[in-house]
A and B are shown apart, each in its own frame.
Chain A
Amino acid sequence: MAKLSPAATVLKGISLVRGIAFGPIVRLDTQQLKGARAIESPSAEKAALERAIAQAIAELASLIERCEDEQARSILEFQVAFLEDETLTQPIFESIQRGQPAETAWQQGINREIADYQASEDPYFRDRADDLKDIRDRVLCKLFGCELPKPPLEGIVVCKQMLPAQFISHSWGEGGLVVQHASPTSHLTLLARARGVPVVAGIEVDAIGEAASAVLDGYEGLLILDPDPSTQAYYEEKRGHDRREAEQAKPLLLKPAVTRDGEPVRVMVNLSHQTELHWIDRRSIDGVGLVRTELLFGALGRVPSEEEQAKAYGEILCWSREKPVTIRLFDVGGDKSLGHASAESSTSFLGVRGVRLLLRHPTVLRTQLRALARVRHMGKLRVMVPMVTLPEEMRQCRKYWEEAISEVKVDGEDTEMPPLGMMVEVPLAALSIEAFDADFFSIGSNDLLQYLAAASRDEPELNHLLVPSPAALNVIARVVSAANSLNKPVSLCGDLGSEPSYVPLLLDCGLREFSVAPDAIGRVKQSIASYGRKK
């Protein structure tokens, strides 16, 4: 495979929709809509606004007619319904009667609604503010007789913000989108995902400067400016490879995984963000094997409240229904942070991180456990402790967990005590899991490998030491067989399990439960299906 050139200028954002796109950079003008029109009598102003609204509705109606995506259509219909609703327009027409110009009355009236949505605590409702901005600008354009900016056909569109109808009216082809502001639950993200348009958010438009072309890596959330031929070749190859792989894995995706010998293997998914729930097919997994709670709230920049956490965990449990969900306590430190709790912690992989940090911040730990206790009746919850080194750490966590359960009452009959398990990633723990008071085990192969090899994951020059050597596989096999003889569930949730070439090695270790990256489900099942012991 071609190599990624280290010389390229790379901007890091947040991946909203996965995939790869390349082409010229297209900058969309997002300046405020302005126009000059002569202000007339109130009745003429009212007529002008009525005309503009009618034209906007007609425009949306013709978009609806051409629209094949059901979700996109319903968004447009929603916008039409708003424009047709007298509850919205009546007070605006009244302001015009009192002497306000049409555009001022329109903007003030609809901005009131927008502000109301923006103030909502529920992200779903907050994001609907974009739909209202969309119709606000569409009507304003009609008033001023101008056009909404339209992106061209090819390339990577860069803008501060894009409104849903703008996205829908564009035929994206092979293109991609970079937006400065977009939320994972916005209609824009859902639409782009449905259409397979890669999207990266959180990149400052100004940082792109004068670059002419780019590669958009929607897997890692990267924008690579003016890529050299070898970078270009690397991504072309990767895109072709990903597409072939997705095509091949399709038939297996929704079926339970079995080896060639007919032995069932459980395939779960690792979650880092609620938005993943929108595109993972629930039928393709046996449950959620790892929720990285520190990433769930990464954008907050502070420790989330009990309410915020309970809401997020509840959503995942509701989505997963009868399938188990393993929620890992904040694994802060190493390469991840969470507001202030990380400010005082060392960023070293060998430092105060995971449970070491949690036990030093009992308030954070208690809040998280209480949030989990609050949602324990909503699904099959399992709670997992990261970076456990000594049995004493599990004993303390168990105490806090039991405390939270007894403090927080939930509706309905007595729900069972959700299991408390641990990550197996510190070699000391991996070699003695019998000594721990854990209901289940999950092998964190990323950390286990780096600790076994004394080679940091952050050090690119040492990547060759982080492969599953026979010694490392021995340790994994030991954990699996110890868990089996304790009759406790064991899985592996590190990146090793998402790599098809390593799957047979892990099956050889006796492992029968994997938790993998969302886009790896198909290829892992494929690898499992071709695994069979030689006779």
Chain B
Amino acid sequence: MDELQDHTPKAEGKAVVQSVSGLHARPSLALVKLAKRFQSKIEVSFDQAGPWTDAKSIVKLMRLKVPKDATLYVRAEGPDAHDAVRAVLGLIEGQASSDG
């Protein structure tokens, strides 16, 4: 770890996936689109210890095949890390009725 990173804002949190069929095509795409709006590096994982997956890549996110009711950890690193984590958690939890 270099020194610079120690000053970079970091944030993390977790949320339970509400989308009916997990994070399949549409919810994953929504997540990627949202993540790309932030400068921060944003990652998700099933486990607080990792491995972490880049939330800005649809290919990587879909490889996770996140099922409904899974707990997803989210962490971000960058100038807008706190906003990024808050937004991503909101999206994961708020997709109760999205499908497709």
Q: What is the interface of chain A, defined by CB distance below 8 A to chain B?
A: 71, 74-75, 77-78, 81-82, 85-88, 113, 116, 120, 122, 124-125, 128, 131, 187, 190, 278, 315, 318-319
Contact = CB atoms under 8 A, between A and B. Distances in A.
Interface in B55-96: 57-60, 62-63, 65, 67-68
Contact of B24 (A77, A128, A315): A128
A74 B26 contact: yes
Determine chain A's interface SS by DSSP, over half rule. Answer: helix
Contacts of B59: 82, 85, 87-88, 113
Contacts of A81: 29, 32-33, 58
A78 B60 contact: no
A120 B65 contact: yes
B20 interface: yes
B67 A85 contact: no
A88 B54 CA distance: 13
Interface residues of B, number: 22
Of all A-B residue pairs in the complex, the 8 with the closest CB atoms, nearest first, are: A87-B59, A81-B58, A124-B21, A85-B59, A124-B24, A87-B57, A78-B25, A88-B59
Contacts of A315: 20
Contacts, number: 55
A82 B58 contact: yes
A78 B58 contact: yes
Interface of B: 20-22, 24-26, 28-29, 32-33, 54, 57-60, 62-63, 65, 67-68, 99-100
A78 B57 contact: no
A271 B39 CA distance: 47
Given A82-B59, A87-B60, A318 B20 contact: yes
Contacts of A116: 63
19 contacts: A74-B26, A74-B100, A75-B25, A78-B25, A78-B26, A81-B29, A81-B33, A82-B58, A82-B59, A85-B59, A88-B59, A122-B21, A122-B67, A125-B22, A125-B24, A125-B65, A128-B62, A315-B20, A319-B20
Contacts of B29: 74, 77-78, 81
Nearest to B58: A81
Which among B20, B21, B58, B63 has the highest number of chain A CB atoms within 10 Å?
B58
Nearest to A120: B65
A187 B25 CA distance: 10
Contacts of B28: 78
Contacts of B22: 122, 124-125
A278 B63 CA distance: 25
Contacts of B100: 71, 74-75, 190
Contact of B25 (A74, A85, A86): A74
Contact of B65 (A71, A75, A122): A122
A74 to B, nearest CB: 5
B20 A128 contact: no
Contacts of A78: 25-26, 28-29, 58
B24 to A, nearest CB: 5
Contacts of A88: 59
A120 B21 CA distance: 13
Which among B29, B99, B100 has the highest number of chain A CB atoms within 10 Å?
B100
A128 B25 contact: yes
A85 B58 contact: yes
A81 B59 CA distance: 8
A88 B58 CA distance: 9
A481 to B, nearest CB: 41
A319 B99 CA distance: 11
A77 to B, nearest CB: 6
Given A116-B63, A318-B20, A131 B57 contact: no
Nearest to A131: B25
A508 B100 CA distance: 43
Nearest to A319: B20
A85 B63 CA distance: 13
Given A78-B25, A87-B54, A124-B24, 4 more contacts: A74-B29, A78-B28, A78-B29, A125-B65
